Amino acid sequence: MDDISKYCQYLLISNECVILPGFGALIARDLPSYYSKEKEEFVPPRREITFNRNIVKDDGLLVHALSSGSGITFSEARTVAEKWIRAINDDLGRGNEVRLKGIGRFNRNRSGQVLFEPEMQGFINPLYYGFPLLKVTETDYAERMERVKNLVSGYRPRLAAVAAGIALFLTFSLIPLQISRQSKVQQQKAIISINDLKPSSKIAETDSVAMIVEEMTKKENALAPENEKPALTREPIRKEETNTPATVPVVSEKTAINEISDKNGFYLIAGSFVEMWRAEKYLNELKSKGFSPIIVNSDSKIRIAVSYSSDRKSADAILADHRTRYPDMAVWILKK
CATH of the domain at 304: 3.30.70.1070
Say if 11 falls within a structural domain: yes
One-letter amino acid of 95: G
Say if 279 falls within a structural domain: yes
In tens digits, the chain (336 residues) has pLDDT values of 457 888 898 888 888 899 999 999 999 888 888 888 887 787 777 778 899 999 999 889 999 999 988 889 999 999 999 999 999 999 998 989 999 888 889 999 988 899 999 876 655 555 555 566 677 666 655 666 677 777 767 656 666 677 777 777 776 665 555 555 555 555 555 555 545 544 444 444 444 444 544 555 444 444 444 444 444 444 444 444 444 443 333 334 444 444 677 788 899 999 888 888 888 888 899 999 899 999 988 777 888 999 999 999 998 999 889 888 888 888 888 888
Spatial separation of the C-alpha atoms in residues 279 and 255, rounded to whole Å? 10
Say if 85 falls within a structural domain: yes
- Residue 48 neighbours by CB under 8 Å, 6+ apart: 28, 29, 30, 31, 118, 122, 123
The arrangement of strands across the sheet holding 266-273 comes to 260-261, 294-298, 301-309, 266-273, 332-335
Contact 127, 33 (CB under 8 A): no
Give the number of domains in the chain.
2
Spatial separation of the C-alpha atoms in residues 65 and 69, rounded to whole Å? 6
Say if 204 falls within a structural domain: no
What CATH number is attached to the domain comprising 72? Answer: 4.10.520.10
Render 269-309 in DSSP notation, one character per residue. EEEEESSHHHHHHHHHHHHHTT---EEEEETTEEEEEEEEE
Say if 18 falls within a structural domain: yes
Q: What's residue 241's pLDDT?
A: 45
* The last residue of a domain, from among 93, 119, 135: 135
* The last residue of a domain, from among 112, 135, 158: 135
3-state secondary structure of 55: coil
pTM over 0.85? The answer is no
Spatial separation of the C-alpha atoms in residues 161 and 158, rounded to whole Å? 5
Q: What's residue 185's pLDDT?
A: 55
Say if 117 falls within a structural domain: yes
Say if 89 falls within a structural domain: yes
User: From residue 203, how far is each of 195, 198, 208, 209, 210 by CA, in Å?
Assistant: 12, 12, 9, 10, 11
* Alpha-carbon torsion (202, 206, 208, 209), positive or negative: positive
- Find the length of the chain: 336
Domain that holds residue 46: 2-135
* The last residue of a domain, from among 84, 108, 135: 135
Say if residue 69 is exposed, middle or buried (CB neighbours under 10 Å; 0-12, 13-18, 19+): middle
CA distance from start to end of the chain: 30
Say if 130 falls within a structural domain: yes
